[in-house]
Structure 1
Amino acid sequence: MPVTSDRAFFADLGDRWLERGRKRLQSADLTPHAEIFGVVEEMADGIARISGLPDVRLNEQLRFEGGETGLALTLDADSISAVLLDDAVRIEAGMRVSGTGEVVRVPVGEGLLGRVVDPLGRPLDDGPPIAETDTLPVERPAPAIIERDLVSSPVETGVLVVDALFALGRGQRELIIGDRATGKTSVALDAIINQKHSDMVCVYVAVGQRASAIDRAIEAVRTHGAPERCIFVVASAAEASGLQWLAPFAGFTMAEYFRDKGQHALIVIDDLTRHAATHRELALLTREPPGREAYPGDIFYLHARLLERAARLSPELGGGSLTALPIAETDAGNLSAYIPTNLISITDGQIVLDSRLFAANQRPAVDVGLSVSRVGGKAQKRALRQVSGRIRLDYAQFLELEMFTRLGGVSDPRFKATLTRGERIRAVLAQTRFSPMRQADQVALLAALNAGVLDAIEPEAIAALRPRIGSVLDASADDLVAAIEDNEKLDDAALERLVDLVRSLTGTGHG
């Protein structure tokens, strides 16, 4: 009896297995499929030389046999040079490669806000997976001239020397340039932190930086700013060269999503000098002919097509804006080098930081003689424009006079007055990191400077005076604060009220 039941059981099991096999066979797709693939011929220094794939397009995303991705960087007659976007440890000669038919795309949307991601949109923090709503290509055309509008609204950085002398407008491209360790990133981070109470979304792109420096920058925004409205795109020096090359384009695409929705965005690229070095490295590895300073001939076009994407759109397209603050590094203050001259000619002005000013403890170390904003002055708020008109000229005269008086004393009272005022201007323009000033406080301080109120106090006392101005204005002149924020022009009586309020803080009285 047991033998019979076992036979029946196994016979039934076999029938069921046979039936499942028939169903699988019936549902199987037995039609022929054409598959086009290439083969890795050589792999070195993050560059894969691939044979085959005759239909691959420039900048097309490639997929390797183990799941790694790459970017078709150059197309030769008989091979493709692809830069790796993932770890190249497992890629070796003989592996299959297939084209995807797509350019590199990155996730965009609200789900990226507050996150730290790599240039492909993969999270680098400890948060949950990115809740992406859409993807867009990293290479997108810049808005046409007819699609742009005039730059007429200010970007308030909270840095007095920038807002007063080199004002930025929404849709502008302003280069921050200077030697290593002169505070370039600090100026850009101050601008991001000051958007804590504005409607701007900020994107910080780190290219080729040390991981410790990137961590400090992110922590500064988290401590002092509004990280929930920021996106951090990180491609550190330890990442693949392809990711470093891709990072600025990915950051722009993420920022453009908000611009195209009619919102306003600010993007900081830290920095394009390292990005240019990465492009030179990849170009030499893919055997492109070197040009000036060993950079390939397309380095200008590379950065021009990137920064042209910053713009303010016309009202018909929503009126959104994308403001770019690219950072570049110089050697020994040499602004005539290849990459600095390229970027200066592409952008709408530059904020130059000087190592000698930095060493003299003038922070931010902005060189007011070499810095310029070609657009944003038209977007500057009226009240700030009223009180900042003569400061740059007075400060330049002071610097020149100071140079001549280093060897001896000054007896002329007019020269003494110029030196006194210049020292106060220098103290007013000095500002500690992560302590942004709202525009009403800036207007009051500069109005007091113009009226000579600060001439009676020591320059060192101005630093202690600065943080007290805001509370006094809110308590005694909230109508003037609102008028300044509403971009109204102040009459003489209003300016005198501001001067009197600052004078009351100095304890000097009328005189």
Structure 2
Amino acid sequence: MVTIEKNILIYGVIISTGYGVVTLEGLLIAFISEVFTTQSFSIGLVVNLYQNDTMNLLIGALLLNPENPLDQGSTVHALSSLATITLGDCAIASILDPVGNVIFNSGRINMQYPWAIESPAPGIIDRQSVSEALQTGLIAIDSSIPIGCGQRELIVGDRQTGKTSISIDSILNQKYSTIFTVYTSLGQSSSSILQVFLSLVQKDAIFYLSMLMATASSSAVHQYLCAYSGAALSEFFVITGELPSLLILDDLSRHACAYREIYLLLRRPAGREAYPGEIFFVHSRLLERSAKLSYNLGGGSLTCFPVIETLAGDVSGYISTNIISITDGQIALSADLFLSGILPAIDVGLSVTRVGSIGQWYGMKYVAGFYKLELAQFVELQSFSQFASDLGQESKNRLTKGLRLVEILKQSSRSPISLTRQVGILSLANQKLLKALAIKDVDLFLNLYLDIPSWTLLLIPPNLVAKSIVCCVFKAN
């Protein structure tokens, strides 16, 4: 008799099917994130528990391998376990799918550690304050919008404004550091993902990187799970390897669309802009897993770069405001700056960091403490000068200084700059030496300065090096 009651509790029946989702009846002891199997060897994940009009318990579930056909009336068997992926050193320099299958292998084969896809975020006692800076290699970010290890920094902007380029430059800058990077691609085309991977291969940057991909042709279930699998992979190396980790979620706007599709397929009522009412909780429980762990847990850190795509620069959209309220700051990209040739196209007026400046190196604070304010004043003065017929000499000097500063902060893609070089460039920009250069010659000066070997700057004072470069620029003209 006990066996019969137990079978009733762990078995259920499929009463309706959809694309990647099923509705079950039975499984009376089911819980959220529980895994079950079917007769056709399909694997499912419980995501919703509710009652119908007759007060019967119904279960909404996702199919992790929807390619296997299922019919109404098929039985399912609960496994009384959470959804896990199998991880190991094989994940390094490899491409994985959302359920942990290896798409591209680096040669390692030891995948032996099961890890929960969804886990609770670390508590307050398990965390510590952000105290270490994460260098992105972009002088415009490291000087004005610094990011700390354990921070959540949103990258927001329109389509084709350089959001992925900032992520790739941040990955390339970790080449000689101990930071492990996980790049998660959500809903992008296969060609775009391949282009990103090949650009990292060319720079020898895949040996401290793992990629998880759910392409645009993947099911909504895989696109939804891919973000949580990426967080689980990052946590694996943070906790077991005690390493700082960087998680890039590119992008969460497609993740929200995938969850909205799942929600509608489960026939749940939609909320604002047809998104489910729990979309804030979906993203918050994902991003809250980023933390700087205490030394009792190894002292590792998980830094997260969620990416959001906006429409016509509107950062007040539903998903954008949700993510902004969760994260510790945002890097806003402007389409107008991008089209005018200012790369990276960072809008200093909308960009902010809330904790990164705590871990910023004191030398960078000294040389870059006032640049963000100067840039903001330059933007206001530039917009005002368009309607003024005549400007005073002081205003003209400030405009010229602002234009020269903008030229200094320009940086081409796939070319990160080390921290010492950034401090050297900003210290030279604050001197009278560059005032002798025309604005169009600033880029040539920076290229010549960056081409000088680092050991040269240790033997020769930077001022003498800069003066010799200025003389070379004058001779070239």
Aligned partner (choices 34, 42, 47) of residue 16 of structure 2: 42
Structure 1 pair 32–165 and aligned structure 2 pair: CA distance change class (3 A)? closer
> How far 1:162 sits from its partner (Å)?
0.4
Trace 1:175-254 onto structure 2 (pairs within 5 A): 175-254=154-233
Trace 1:88-237 onto structure 2 (pairs within 5 A): 88=67, 90-125=69-104, 130-237=109-216
TM-score between the two structures when normalised by the length of structure 1: 0.86
Q: Please name the residue that 1:54 is paired with.
A: 28
Mapped partners of 1:33, 1:103: distance in 2? 22
Trace 1:36-435 onto structure 2 (pairs within 5 A): 36-77=10-51, 78-88=57-67, 90-125=69-104, 130-260=109-239, 261-407=241-387, 410-435=390-415
C-alpha distance after superposition, 1:346-368 (max 9, x if no partner):
10000000111111121111001
User: What letter is aligned with 1:507?
Assistant: C
Matched, 1:455 2:420: no
Contact residue 92 and residue 106 of structure 2 kept, 8 A: no
Contact residue 410 and residue 416 of structure 1 kept, 8 A: no
Cα-Cα RMSD: 2.2
Between 449-458 and 266-275, the greater mean CA deviation after superposition: 449-458
Query: Alignment partner of 1:94: what SS?
Result: coil
Contact residue 42 and residue 68 of structure 2 kept, 8 A: no
Contact residue 456 and residue 508 of structure 1 kept, 8 A: no
Query: Alignment partner of 1:146: what SS?
Result: coil
Q: Which structure would you say has the larger Rg?
A: 1
Q: Please name the residue that 1:502 is paired with.
A: 466
Mapped partners of 1:292, 1:463: distance in 2? 47
Aligned residues: 464
Contact residue 445 and residue 502 of structure 1 kept, 8 A: no
Query: Alignment partner of 1:164: what SS?
Result: helix
Query: Alignment partner of 2:152: what SS?
Result: coil
User: What letter is aligned with 2:454?
Assistant: D
Q: Please name the residue that 2:54 is paired with.
A: none
Contact residue 90 and residue 107 of structure 2 kept, 8 A: no
Query: Alignment partner of 2:207: what SS?
Result: helix
Structure 1 pair 89–136 and aligned structure 2 pair: CA distance change class (3 A)? closer
> How far 1:121 sits from its partner (Å)?
0.9
User: What letter is aligned with 1:372?
Assistant: V
C-alpha distance after superposition, 1:251-292 (max 9, x if no partner):
111111121132110000001111111111111221222222
C-alpha distance after superposition, 1:328-359 (max 9, x if no partner):
11111111111111111110000000111111
Q: Which sections of structure 2, spanning at least 5 residues, go unmatched?
A: 52-56
Mapped partners of 1:331, 1:465: distance in 2? 37
Query: Alignment partner of 1:76: what SS?
Result: strand
Query: Alignment partner of 1:477: what SS?
Result: helix
Runs of 4+ aligned residues of structure 1 deviating over 4 Å after TM superposition are 31-36, 126-130, 407-411
